[in-house]
Amino acid sequence: EKKEAALAAASKKTTEEQVEQTTDSTFKWKKVIKRKLKDNGGEMKIKKLKKAVLEEYSGDVDDFDAIFDEKLQKCGAVIDGKKASLAA
């Protein structure tokens, strides 16, 4: 039982690492998010930003929402309720 749990955790970690590697190496999240915000006057609704980034994203759409949320947090954008804006 413990071996199964350890194996499941290891395979999940490997899958997450693979997703991280493919999305980072083929798609410049930070650059695209910041560019979209800049093009829209430095601020836009998160839902609209997500849709705009999705148009340029060519990876697996099933994981897009989770990855987008993570990358949005890491890119330095300020999130205020339903809006995201560039840090001053």
Domain count, the chain: 1
User: In this model, does residue 17 exceed pLDDT 50?
Assistant: no
**66-81 residue pLDDT tens:** 999 999 999 989 999 9
Domain with 78 in it: 2-85
Which residue did the predictor score with more confidence, 58 or 79? Answer: 79
| β-strands 43-45, 78-80 pairing | unpaired
Q: What is the mean pLDDT of residues 34-46?
A: 94
Of 57, 52, 24, the C-alpha closest to 39 is 52
The SS3 assignment for 34 reads: helix
What's the pLDDT score for residue 15? 41
